[in-house]
Amino acid sequence: MKKGLLVVCVLFSIFMIAHSASAVRVNVIPSHNETRVNERAWYTIRIYNDRSYAEEFVITVSGEHMEWMNLESYYVKIDGYKTREVGLYFYPKEENSYEYEVLVYSKKDSRNRDSDSLTLKVLPEMPVKITGMSTEKRGDEIEISLGIFSRGRRSLKIHFEILNSMGEVVKTLDVEKEIEGNEEVNEIIPTGNLLAGSYDVKVSIPEYGVSGETEFYIPPVHKIVRKKEIVSTPFGDKVIITIRNEGNVEEDYVLSETLPPNQYVEFPENPTSSYMDEEGMKYNWRIEGLAVGKSVAITYNISRLPFIIGSLISVICIFALLGVGAVKVRTPNIKKRYIRKRNEHLIVLEIKGALTKGLKNVIVKDRVSPLGKVVPEFDGPKPIVRESESGTELIWRLGDIKPRSEIYLTYRIRPLIEAQLKMPRAYLTYRTEDDRKIRVFSKQIVLE
């Protein structure tokens, strides 16, 4: 019995010792730091809660010149097995080396505590320093405003660098200024040839090892300039269109030209696409990745040869028609038509004499198919009628007729069957001055 009680007491003691042991750990990063008078020194306090349940902790800092100290939080709550970080910085006013202790303990159990130390070395204040920087974009320029402090009057050589998003230096500027106390330096740097995007501005005073950095942004400018030139020759036009990127970003561009559909066009460089719309034939050239400051020329030729050839053909045709017209002016004309009247058809032969001269020994002949019968009644000049098995022939001997005469010869036929009746061509003959015999035909007609 006594043995058992002893074992229980020993186990309880072990439990209490383990339970009362520190379960918080503190680590200050960095443990050693260095700064200058009137410049901040940053630290991070990392706190570990090694218990399985949440704990509330108090943070204290002790050391010399606590008025320089700024603690982000004096009280934190940390869940079991979790970590929290608290910021700490000093803004020293005197040069020297200083040591500080950071203590963290549980709010419920002050025995649950841990501490860490840090050192801070404060160097003398720089005789020259950059107190501020800003930039302002103005058209094609960037104005850089730089605040500089100098203890005593000094001639400072200031170096400016502009870097693109790839970290490449694209512009530099070196100036020399007389500075005493707090002064502002304003410098203007042209940016007309810079592409759109973000840029860093780095300023340094190498002699005193001080530097500063800021940034600015150049918005995109889209500017495509198109120039058209036409070189004309008797046989056509050569069109040259120049596309130039005068913006600050790489461009994809589509050049469109609308031409009349009846023009003959030759393309040394084939269009990307073409189609017909209400305005005419539209041709498109797609230009991809046109770099800033670069130009591309598109050419095409409008040929007048088809028009010239067509005009020559037209002139030839006009002269041919004039020739035919001249022939027709000097020759008569005969037309054949019909008028339907109940069970019979009235056939009309219209004869027009030549316009410039009379005709001699004019004879007009017409023939009727055996499927039609000529009615022996005539309203005008009576023809000679000859009937045979092959049909009926009608002959009018008109003799001589004067220029520009118009004569109408008519006769009637009665179809013998219910069908279309095809009538042959009528014709007239006359004699020329040299006694040649000329024959002129009409067109065929079909009676229905």
Q: How far apart are the first and last CA of the chain?
A: 146
What fold does the segment set 128-218 form as a domain?
Immunoglobulin-like (2.60.40)
Which class would CATH give 331-447? mainly beta
Lowest-confidence region among 78-87, 288-297, 335-344: 335-344
Max CA distance (Å), the chain: 174
pLDDT, average across residues 265-275: 85
Residue 61 has pLDDT above 50, yes or no: yes
Cβ 280 vs Cβ 258: under 8 Å: yes
Q: What is the pLDDT of residue 204?
A: 93
What fold does the segment set 224-305 form as a domain?
Immunoglobulin-like (2.60.40)
Reported as a pLDDT band with limits 50, 70 and 90, residue 10 is very low
- The residues spanned by each domain of the chain are 20-123, 128-218, 224-305, 331-447
Pick the residue with more confidence: 157 or 191? 157
Give CATH for domain 20-123: 2.60.40.10
Percent of the chain at pLDDT exceeding 70 = 92
The Cα–Cα gap between 384 and 371 comes to 20
| Domains 20-123 and 224-305 fall in the same CATH topology | yes
Beta-strand pair 210-218/251-259: unpaired
Lowest-confidence region among 317-326, 364-373, 423-432, 439-448: 317-326
Residue in 441, 355, 362, 423 with CA at minimum distance from that of residue 395? 362
What is the DSSP code (8-state) at residue 3?
Answer: H
State the Cα torsion 69-73-75-79 to the nearest 10°. -130
| DSSP bridge pairs for 50 | none
Tens-place pLDDT, residues 355-376: 777 788 889 999 988 888 888 8
Of these ranges, 13-17, 87-91, 276-280, 377-381, the one predicted with the greatest mean pLDDT is 87-91
Q: Hey, what amino acid is at 354?
A: A
CA angle at 345 for the pair 343 and 346, rounded to the nearest 5°: 140
Residue 1 has pLDDT above 80, yes or no: no
State the Cα torsion 10-16-21-24 to the nearest 10°. 140
pLDDT, average across residues 93-106: 96
Percent of the chain at pLDDT exceeding 90 = 36
The Cα–Cα gap between 160 and 191 comes to 14
pLDDT, average across residues 174-196: 89
Q: What is the pLDDT of residue 12?
A: 46
Tens-place pLDDT, residues 276-296: 888 888 889 998 888 888 999
Residue 329 has pLDDT above 80, yes or no: no
Residue 217 has pLDDT above 80, yes or no: yes
Residue 309 has pLDDT above 70, yes or no: yes
| DSSP bridge pairs for 336 | 349
Residue 194 has pLDDT above 70, yes or no: yes
Mean pLDDT computed over every residue of the chain: 86
Q: What is the pLDDT of residue 59?
A: 96
- Residue 112 has phi, psi (to 5 degrees) of -80, 90
Of these ranges, 313-317, 365-369, 430-434, the one predicted with the greatest mean pLDDT is 365-369
Cβ 392 vs Cβ 368: under 8 Å: yes
Alpha helices by DSSP H, 69-172: none
Q: Which residue has the tokens 């696409």?
A: 273
User: Strands across the sheet with 24-29, in order?
Assistant: 24-29, 41-49, 83-90, 69-71
Distances (CA, A) of 55 to 19, 92, 108: 14, 33, 8
Tens-place pLDDT, residues 108-145: 998 999 999 999 999 988 889 888 899 988 888 889 99
SS3 (DSSP) at 311: helix
CA angle at 221 for the pair 217 and 227, rounded to the nearest 5°: 155
Task: Please report, for the chain, how many H helices and E strands are present, in that order.
Answer: 2, 32
Residue 5 has pLDDT above 60, yes or no: no
What is the DSSP code (8-state) at residue 124?
Answer: P
95: how many CB neighbours lie within 10 A of its CB? Answer: 13
Q: What is the pLDDT of residue 320?
A: 65
Tens-place pLDDT, residues 241-258: 999 998 888 888 888 888
Pick the residue with more confidence: 15 or 23? 23
Residue 330 has pLDDT above 80, yes or no: no
Lowest-confidence region among 179-188, 263-272, 305-314: 305-314
Pick the residue with more confidence: 235 or 308? 235
Each residue of 275-287: b (16+ CB within 10 Å) or e? eeeeeebbbebeb
Residue 102 has pLDDT above 80, yes or no: yes
